[in-house]
Structure 1
């Protein structure tokens, strides 16, 4: 070292998270490939301090499945080698949460850390580094004195590179928090070359005067010839030890206590570079917005509870499981069937708790559920929720409460996941033409249309009504029914036909009645195909079995994809131990096809499409009617 130039104060951090609802092998993978190599190798270098953040979901799993690793972290915390970071227990996008949930999630993880490790965290991790200035007040209220944002967010705030080697103070309504920049540029270098080289070059480049704080949370470090992660970390820590003349590993709290004055900064609404704004993401992906809307609606139901604080808290803690950041930040996770199902299971579980110890009364609510400016119609029965919208006059949520299962939780395809280096605009462009899938999506097709090709999206001819705005012609809360209609439309195939749809929900049975009327002067021959999507735990005999019902004969297993002249279907949901009976007053042909989304090397199941097809001829002013029903039992 030359001329008494100060060392680099290195905050070496590590972040690990797995979403709630992930399959067991993914927990194993994150633990074995990421967390365990870092912690177990760091333990051998007691002079190297680090900041560790694990989501509550992952820590809870480690506690029960890797107790020796959990005890190792306990030991390293007690000897002050590791400083634990707090945050939301389920790794939520904090700006999207109501205030009581922000505080509740942070306090839940703080309580867990204090109980198991004996110390309250002094700072926190911001999931996806999604920031809004009004986060400061709840963070400070929860005892957080510091947090981390990316160097890009510092740069976007006008902070020059030479001023980034120190935390800043940020204030909101008299509350102040210290913010450390996380250097992604240095993290990328550490993944490509040796730590000694990286920190020697950095130290030589830094100004001679003053102290310099550098925060990194490397996802990986430089490896040789596909060596194991623990070998790579061992070499990394060895190189840090050999660089002790220019690098000293410190904890964030030591930096805060040792510095007397920091510059002030105000950070705009932002997220780390390459991440999509969660609010724009909700607009782009209706399925993510549906989960968010359900969370807000469930929150409202919980807030209406009076006099039973324990039940209210139980419901709130169940709801928090659905607030993880993953479903609100990347289509890669939104495509994951198990994560969406876990979110809905938590939300419906919380809703069930709100109904306990009360006499539940069936209702029909007119309410702007998804915040699009148009009211939706929410049927709520003791065992079924059925949410309908005017766009396409279809069902977008169908909850079977005894199993806490949303049978309409499916997902459209929004293109491949966006990489860290892609612009958010590239993803947003992909989503412009996509929309939320609904059940009872009406289509008028030419006679002889290939139903399977239509479900595959290869046929665009005909009149497709799922994207049309239906009018509400009757809405009776007492009788529990709502009537939608779509007027004749000039210049489109089969545009002379008026559609009237009536939805009602009684005693675990959803009824949908249709009236089609030809207002043209000529006869019209067409196929009418109202598509119904149902989402099961998976595809195949181990998850779902379907039987066709035909008058005068016994039920028979359906032959996929086409079955002819059926009166109805009996669908066995094997994993949920539930039965869905689909009935029609007219016989129909049906095409049944599972929907998959390809994500990388995997084909991910989303839902199963049932396309009943009716061949109809209508003369001028003639009408055709049909009654469908969906009955759920277990």
Structure 2
């Protein structure tokens, strides 16, 4: 009778966000990347598949030649396989087809150039899968992909059937898919090695074609919490079963000493065994991601339901069919994430238009210069697509301001390169200003973009006539890169009630108009607990004029609404006009508030005005001194005189009109 066996492909995923701090790269390298690769190097009969995001691989190539040399040696002795994916770790679901292919080919080319390896497999950012993936992955020259086993279980196949590979297709283009084993993923490195070996022994069979795919973030092996100690320090590993031996060498030793565990790469497995069957997988990610993406209150309820099913033996079969949300909803959950995504689409459309203009040129030298700049602009856009900043789960994500700045910096850099190209094509365009009505958010509503070589102002009439993005292009800086205080499922109710955790009613934007009582306190504003007397804060304004006069862009908006009488429930009709003028380094905003006179009762209107304050949201730090404030621009150094004048504390001139009814 044949001995039972099981194939064990191991995949380690190495990634750092674009523009993460240099000290983070170095710290994670010391705690995780270096000791992990060193241990793999010491076990040449343990096969491992590795994935590096392109920007991290660049950093290793530039800073850690000793690690690169070990990778090259392991590649030559057929110990490792390196798989590809998007160069800057994009979320494939939200970037256009052209960008998907370009990012994958860029990473495959780098791996081929440096290690001489043909890339066959694809890493999916956050293991997010959508049914159309096989076609573009195939077009990029990739042969297989790895996804979570819960993707497979949700189709109705049994746990036993997740120990094989399957084929899938889209538009007739095929791809092999390998299921990641959830049990093994949670055992390593948190439990003694014998528990992983016992699990593999239970899953082994005598047919010889089973596989149990283990994947892990490389950072989990050394950088998370205390994992460095029990993964690599002698005497600090698991005591039970491993007698303190560090987890990584202990685990590799277990693989080497148990001949029934067949160490193999995924490409090697594909060459030996055909797919078990054809399968079609639904849109999915790992289980926690499907929870995190849900709206906050729904997520709280969903987590309770999921845990109750998971812990109930009678309902375990039901659990596999319980689906949460899917990744794209993060663009709805966090408007700031949606803002970055839609700006990326807008900028790339501008670049494509610039490429089309290139067809009109005939001078070869000029075309060559422009093509190089176009490549630079595309690379800036690809960098902005790094997924880490577009969502939030266990770690910071969209809440990390420096990552949001990274996205905006690269997108504004791309715009500046586009300006340079357009200047080369038509020098008369060196100084320009445009005002464009556009469905920026793709929600059927019209936003207005005022764009020049100095500024980008993005205005949303539907959201209180606010400015939601203000880019100062010479410094590649978005002055409105702030994040709204959103409620999260992990916020404790007591802390919300005690105001230890604060949330906002509205998105933080520029020029949001609020009618407050004159006695409102700074704390009430800070806690967003004031009473709003008007209906202008987040309601729609009507655009009455959108035009360009010479080098001045003008946008005029108006809303007729009302405010509540401070003494009664009566509402008083009010008209608000917001006019925006942009020229060179100057942005002028005029806000006019017109109260309709109440016939025969002018004293009431005067009392209402006397009791009200008008507040207009502006991004500045306030220290309590009404004579001093500063723009929120601490991360960029404004030195030029024009820049200093632009950010000088301004005087706000309010104008209130009383108008008699005809």
Is the Cα contact below 8 Å between 2:221 and 2:228 reproduced in 1?
no
CA distance in 1, matches of 2:49, 2:72: 13
Structure 2 counterpart SS, 1:218: strand
Preserved contact between residue 319 and residue 347 of structure 1 (Cα < 8 Å): yes
Residue 376 of structure 2 corresponds to residue 314 of structure 1 = yes
- C-alpha distance 414-446 of structure 1, shift in aligned 2 (>3 A): closer
In the TM superposition, what are the counterparts of 1:402-413 in structure 2 within 5 Å? 402-413=474-485
Number of residues of Structure 1 aligned to a counterpart in Structure 2: 557
What's the TM-score, normalizing by structure 1? 0.82
Matches for 1:73-84 after TM superposition, within 5 Å? 73-84=71-82
Mark the CA change 1:507 to 1:88 in structure 2 (over 3 Å): closer, same or farther. Answer: same
What's the CA shift string for 1:276-325, capped at 9, x where partnerless? 32311101110000000011001101101232433222211111001011
Other structure's SS at 2:9 match: strand
Q: TM-score, normalised by structure 2?
A: 0.79
Q: Distance in 1 between matches of 2:351 and 2:631?
A: 36
Counterpart residue number, 1:287: 336
Residues 365, 477 of structure 1: 8 Å contact kept = no
- SS across alignment from 2:42: coil
Give the one of 282, 292, 299 matched to 1:268: 282
Match of 2:249 in 1: 234
Secondary structure in structure 1 of the residue aligned to 2:474: helix
What aligned pairs does 1:334-483 form with structure 2 within 5 A after superposition? 334-357=398-421, 358=423, 359-360=429-430, 361-390=432-461, 391-416=463-488, 435-463=506-534, 465-478=536-549, 480-483=553-556
1:585, distance to aligned residue in structure 2 (A): 5.5
Distance 2:480 2:635 in 1: 17
1:302 lines up with 2:302 in the alignment: no
Gap regions ≥5 residues in structure 1: 420-429, 540-558, 588-613, 623-634
Taking the aligned partners of 2:505 and 2:262, their CA distance within structure 1 comes to 51
Aligned 8 A contact 2:534 2:564 in 1:
no
**Equivalent residues in 2 for 1:135-174, closer than 5 Å:** 135-174=133-172
Aligned-partner Cα distance in 1 for 2:625–2:529: 17
Partner of 2:320: none
Say whether the 8 Å CA contact 2:456–2:469 is kept in structure 1.
Answer: yes
Checking the alignment, whether the CA contact within 8 Å between 1:192 and 1:221 is kept in structure 2 is: no
Aligned to 2:119: 121
Displacement after TM superposition at 1:126 (Å): 0.6
* 2:108 corresponds to 1:110: yes
Between structures 1 and 2, the one with greater strand share: 1
Query: Which 5+ residue runs of structure 2 have no aligned equivalent?
Result: 234-245, 294-325, 359-369, 424-428, 492-500, 599-604
Cα distance, 1:207 vs structure 2: 4.2
Mapped partners of 2:385, 2:516: distance in 1: 41
Aligned partner of 1:176 in structure 2 is 174
Separation of aligned partners in 1, 2:352 and 2:261: 51
Q: Residues 273 and 439 from structure 1, CA distance in 2 versus in 1: closer, same or farther, beyond 3 angstroms?
A: same
Contact 2:535 2:562 in 1 (8 A): no
The residue number in structure 2 matching 1:575 is 636
- How far off its partner does 1:583 sit? 5.9
Distance verdict in 2 for CA 1:533–1:225, change over 3 Å: closer
SS of residue matched to 1:26: helix
1:502 corresponds to 2:579: yes
Could you say what secondary structure the match of 1:217 adopts?
A: strand
Aligned partner of 2:594 in structure 1 is 517
Q: Is the 8 A contact 1:318 1:346 kept in 2?
A: yes
- 1:347-405 C-alpha deviation (Å, 9 max, x unpaired): 11111111114224311000011112111110011211111111111111111111111
Cα-Cα RMSD: 2.8
> Counterpart of 1:187 in 2: which secondary structure?
helix
Q: Secondary structure at the match of 1:143?
A: coil
The Cα offsets for residues 222-257 of structure 1, whole Å up to 9 and x where unpaired, read as: 9999535463211121122222x2211100010110
1:533 matches 2:619: yes
Cα distance in 1 for partners of 2:104, 2:232 equals 31
Structure 1 residues 75, 506: CA separation in 2 closer, same or farther (over 3 Å shift)? same
Note the C-alpha offset of 1:571. Answer: 8.3
Distance 1:142 1:620, change over 3 A: closer
Residues 582-620 of structure 1: CA deviation (Å, up to 9, x unaligned)? 565656xxxxxxxxxxxxxxxxxxxxxxxxxx6x87656
Partner of 1:562: 625
Taking the aligned partners of 2:68 and 2:561, their CA distance within structure 1 comes to: 66
Helix, strand or coil: the match of 1:177? strand
| Alpha-carbon separation, structure 1, partners of 2:98 and 2:203 | 45
Which residue of the partner structure matches residue 330 of structure 1? 392
| CA shift in 2, pair 1:87/1:351, >3 Å | same
Deviates more, 1:150-159 or 1:570-579: 570-579
The CA distance in 2 between the partners of 1:533 and 1:586, in whole Å, is: 14
Rounded to whole Å, the distance in 1 between the matches of 2:227 and 2:625 is 54
SS of residue in 1 equivalent to 2:8: strand
Q: Is the 8 A contact 2:165 2:176 kept in 1?
A: yes
Q: Deviations over 1:439-486 (max 9, x none)?
A: 011111112322353133232343363312112122224452111112
Offset at 1:221? 6.6
Partners of 1:380 and 1:34 in 2: how far apart? Answer: 45
* Distance in 2 between residues matched to 1:492 and 1:203, nearest whole Å: 76
Contact 2:435 2:546 in 1 (8 A): no
Aligned partners of 1:52, 1:209: CA distance in 2, in Å?
A: 28
2-side partners of 1:233 and 1:572: how far apart? 46
Deviates most, 372-381 or 224-233: 224-233
Which string of whole-angstrom CA distances, capped at 9 and with x for unpartnered residues, describes residues 125-157 of structure 1?
011111112221221122111110001111112
Q: SS at the partner of 2:25?
A: helix
Structure 2 contact 465–541 (Cα < 8 Å) conserved: yes
- Summarize the alignment of residues 476-491 of structure 1 with structure 2, pairs less than 5 Å apart: 476-478=547-549, 480-489=553-562, 491=564
1:574 deviates by 6.9
Q: Distance in 2 between matches of 1:90 and 1:407?
A: 25
Q: Residues 185 and 215 of structure 2 are in contact (CA less than 8 Å); yes or no, is this contact kept in structure 1?
A: yes
- Preserved CA contact (<8 Å) 1:384 1:401: yes
